[in-house]
Amino acid sequence: MTVQRRFLRTVAGFGALAIGTIVLAPLVGSTAISLRRVFDRSIPFADNTDAQIFFVARLPRTLAGAMVGALFAASGVIFQGLLRNPLATPFTLGVSAGAALGAIVAITFNWSIALFGISAVPLAAFAGSVAAVGIVYALAQARHRGLSTTVLLLAGVTMNAFFSAMILFVQYFASFADVGRTLRWLMGDLDVSSYEPLVAALPASMVAFAVFAWLARPLNLLSLGPDSAESRGLDVARAQRGAFLSASLATGAAVSIGGPIGFVGIIIPHLVRLLVGPDHRLVLPAAALFGAAFLVVCDLVARTILAPIELPVGVITALIGGPFFLWLLIRKP
Amino acid sequence: MRRAIRASVALWLFVAAGLIQVSARTNHSAAQLSGHQIRRIISLVPAATEMLFAVGAGPRVVGVSSYDTYPPVVKTLPSVGALIDPNVERILSLKPDLVVIYGSQTDLKQQLTRVGISVFEYRHAGLADVTQTIRAIGERTGDKTEADRVAAGIERDLEDIRVRARPLPKPRTLLVFGRESRSLRGLYASGGLGFLNDMLEAAGGANVFTGIKLEAVQASTEQVLAARPDVILETRSTSGAFPAGERGAEIDAWKSLASVPAVRNGRIVFLFDDRIVVPGPRVAEGTLLIATALHPDAFR
């Protein structure tokens, strides 16, 4: 079977899964709503609670889950390919810790700004992730032609620790209720309650996915090692730079929507590789679509399992992701 | 090699035994001081600080938590940390006879009792517990008469509010005490337990989350829409008030939930007042503020 046919089959299969979950997920929630009333045009929207629950609460939340899941899963694939390390996640290189610091500063000091309908916390989170990426990138490029993945990894891990320390420092000034809210932000939450954060994150996500599409073949070559890749005509430095910046952009966009939702970026890439093999031309689209479906389902579980209470989705992904990841570690190759 | 290990294990056991002995010796169980034998008090909980001052033990308070602001004189007292960061060294240096701690500060309790300082454990709970705690604190500090008088006064004031509110319709109320600014994310509301819920009910409101037996509910957009509150009360501490210029923007944050009666009828009320969020001797005043917000005609 040619790669092209396998690609079409993979995209069709995982695409159907993703679309199926996105269509079905808004039908279920912590409250019972009548679908007939949701789509009843004779009731004004402002009076129609069922329609508001569907269109203001559930649909944006489902779409946020799909978008964030796709971004985290795909950037997980990119980071693992770039660092040639199966344990790499979108959070390994400090992007999410930078975003978390931004968000927590905004929560603690109660910043009250808004830009195009986006409130302070997601704005600050995105700014924090950009700052973190900038620092790590500058460090990794400082003394090398192109990027040194070793420096990238060490700088990223160090920045993670540094930002975490800064978070604790800022927390020290937070009032009690703020400490609770920052903790909740760190758990991850997809209840965006409007479409604006999704629309705002769309351009960055599109750019990232476009670069991802170009990266599939370079990542396949890189998996042989930088030297072999270079000898086969790949501009390694350019590919690494593209991979780092695009995956960081995707991670920053995803974190600003849903917070640092853990485990999606590591378990989905591995699961998908088990299903379709190591070829990035298949792994990347499959991971994006499967990540979308996975996070939508996790969020569905989060908002129904303890109804009428709703859990933050990060709790569910970690509960499912943790044991799975341990199994992955001890499993025979 | 093995002998070396054995020797070092033996040495460590010896040292450990010595330490245990030393700590046992310093663990002299001090006679529990009570009444006016207690001359120096530290409070790590703002609500308890207010209670100490209300029962007349204020002049004996020598240190407070970093969150304390009332009565104003406490701002001049040494601050010794708070719930998660009590500064044991500063507490000890103030030579207290009694330290009021929060019930979850078990490490601190152990450290204090080990050096013979008595502690009074406090926990936030329901409205009825406020007056009960005032009586218990008064008994401990030797101010029982005044404590009884203060507690009875609060109970009378609360009963007055209840009686006045009883015949009035009970608006279904969402009591919010935290969210991200200009957004409905990270929203915390009162569940069916705790002093905020009790104050709301005493003030003649019906908590929309009364069925969720938690003090704090992390309410999602869907839960708020489904609850359909008639009134949305947003309360914060006095220092946590929205800046005057931001209030319009903060009301607009609710605008997307147009099917909620409180949003449609413009019944979103901000109450930034420590008398509501600190369950101390001013709870009746706080309850009256809520009652006035819910029933502006009956309580003006």
Task: Judge whether A69 and A17 are in contact, CB under 8 Å.
Answer: no
pLDDT at A64 over 50: yes
The C-alpha of B31 sits at a distance from chain A's nearest C-alpha, in angstroms, of 35
In this prediction, residues B104-109 reach a mean pLDDT of 90
What is the fold, at CATH topology level, of the domain defined by B168-294? Rossmann fold (3.40.50)
Q: What is the pLDDT of residues B252-288, one digit of tens each?
A: 999 989 999 999 999 999 999 999 999 999 999 999 9
**Which of A116-120, B13-17, B219-223 has the weakest average pLDDT?**
B13-17
In this prediction, residues A204-213 reach a mean pLDDT of 96
* B185 lies within 8 A of chain A by CB: yes
Per-residue pLDDT, A111: 77
Contact residues for B100 (Cβ-Cβ < 8 A; gap 6+): B41, B42, B43, B44, B45, B48, B49, B52, B119, B120, B122, B137
Per-residue pLDDT, B25: 42
Contact criterion met (CB < 8 Å) for A56 and B257? yes
DSSP state of A119: E
- Write b or e for each residue in B252-279: b if 16 or more Cβ atoms lie within 10 A of its Cβ, otherwise e: ebbebbbbbebbeeebbbbbebbbbbbb
Chain B stretch 231-260, residues whose beta carbon is closer than 8 A to a beta carbon of chain A: 236-237, 240, 242-243, 246, 249-250, 256-259
- Per-residue pLDDT band for A274 (boundaries 50, 70, 90) equals confident
Average confidence score pLDDT of chain A: 89
**Tokens read off for B9:** 């294990």
* A44 lies within 8 A of chain B by CB: no
Per-residue pLDDT, B97: 93
pLDDT at B8 over 70: no
Among B182, B217, B259, the residue with its CB nearest the CB of A46 is B259
* Alpha carbon distance A40, B214 (integer Å): 36
Per-residue pLDDT, A225: 86
Ranges of each domain in chain B: 35-155, 168-294
Among A48, A184, A312, the residue with its CB nearest the CB of B259 is A48
Pick from A97, A81, A103: nearest CA to A158: A97
Task: Judge whether A122 and B191 are in contact, CB under 8 Å.
Answer: no
- Per-residue pLDDT band for B23 (boundaries 50, 70, 90) equals very low
Average confidence score pLDDT of chain B: 89
Beta bridge partners of B217: B189
* B221 lies within 8 A of chain A by CB: yes
Contact criterion met (CB < 8 Å) for B249 and A112? yes
**Element holding A317 (H helix, E strand):** helix A313-330
**Tokens read off for B12:** 């460590």
Contacts of A113 in chain B (CB under 8 A): 182
Per-residue pLDDT, A184: 84
Task: Judge whether A277 and A103 are in contact, CB under 8 Å.
Answer: no
| ipTM associated with this complex | 0.84
* Alpha carbon distance B239, B46 (integer Å): 14
pTM of the model: 0.85
**Tokens read off for A72:** 């985290």
* Alpha carbon distance B35, B56 (integer Å): 12
How distant, in Å, are the alpha carbons of A7, A127, B40, B130 from that of B119?
A: 69, 46, 12, 18
Task: Judge whether A184 and B218 are in contact, CB under 8 Å.
Answer: yes
Per-residue pLDDT, B4: 60
Nearest CA in chain B to A113: B182
Measured at the alpha carbon of residue A24, what is the angle toward residues A18 and A29, in degrees to the nearest 5? Answer: 125
What type of residue sits at position B194?
A: G
In this prediction, residues A293-298 reach a mean pLDDT of 95
Report cis status (omega within 30 of 0) of the bond before A60. Answer: no
Using a pLDDT cut of 70, give the percent of chain B over it: 89
Using a pLDDT cut of 90, give the percent of chain B over it: 71
What is the CATH code of the structural domain delimited by A3-330? 1.10.3470.10
**Which of A225-234, A322-331, B151-160, B219-228 has the weakest average pLDDT?**
A322-331
* Alpha carbon distance A140, A136 (integer Å): 6
Contacts of A49 in chain B (CB under 8 A): 225-226, 228, 259
Per-residue pLDDT, B16: 58
Task: Judge whether A131 and A157 are in contact, CB under 8 Å.
Answer: no
The alpha carbon torsion through A293, A202, A196, A65 (nearest 10 deg) reads 10
Using a pLDDT cut of 90, give the percent of chain A over it: 47
Q: What is the pLDDT of residues A146-184, one digit of tens each?
A: 677 888 888 899 999 999 999 888 887 777 667 778 888
Task: Judge whether B190 and B197 are in contact, CB under 8 Å.
Answer: yes
State the pairing for strand pair B188-190/B216-218: antiparallel
Nearest CA in chain A to B244: A112
In this prediction, residues B245-257 reach a mean pLDDT of 90
More confident residue, B96 or B10: B96
DSSP state of B159: H
Per-residue pLDDT, B5: 61
* A48 lies within 8 A of chain B by CB: yes
* Alpha carbon distance B213, B203 (integer Å): 20
Contacts of B264 in chain A (CB under 8 A): 46
Per-residue pLDDT, A309: 80
Among B236, B237, B258, the residue with its CB nearest the CB of A52 is B258
State the pairing for strand pair A114-115/B41-43: unpaired
* Alpha carbon distance A253, A129 (integer Å): 9
Task: Judge whether A104 and A122 are in contact, CB under 8 Å.
Answer: no
**Tokens read off for B132:** 């009960």
Q: Do domains B35-155 and B168-294 have the same CATH topology?
A: yes
**Tokens read off for B220:** 């999602």
- Per-residue pLDDT band for A3 (boundaries 50, 70, 90) equals confident
Per-residue pLDDT, B43: 95
Using a pLDDT cut of 70, give the percent of chain A over it: 96
Per-residue pLDDT, A171: 83
pLDDT at B96 over 90: yes
- Per-residue pLDDT band for A220 (boundaries 50, 70, 90) equals very high
What is the CATH code of the structural domain delimited by B35-155? 3.40.50.1980
Contact criterion met (CB < 8 Å) for A107 and B186? yes
Task: Judge whether A37 and A313 are in contact, CB under 8 Å.
Answer: no
pLDDT at A235 over 70: yes
Radius of gyration of chain B from Cα atoms? 24
Chain B stretch 114-173, residues whose beta carbon is closer than 8 A to a beta carbon of chain A: none
Neighbours of A326 (CB within 10 A): 10
- Per-residue pLDDT band for B2 (boundaries 50, 70, 90) equals low
* Alpha carbon distance A80, B241 (integer Å): 46
* Alpha carbon distance A84, A221 (integer Å): 11
Contact criterion met (CB < 8 Å) for A57 and B243? no
**Which of A82-96, A155-169, B20-34 has the weakest average pLDDT?**
B20-34
The C-alpha of B215 sits at a distance from chain A's nearest C-alpha, in angstroms, of 12
Ranges of each domain in chain A: 3-330
Contacts of A200 in chain B (CB under 8 A): none
pLDDT at A11 over 80: yes
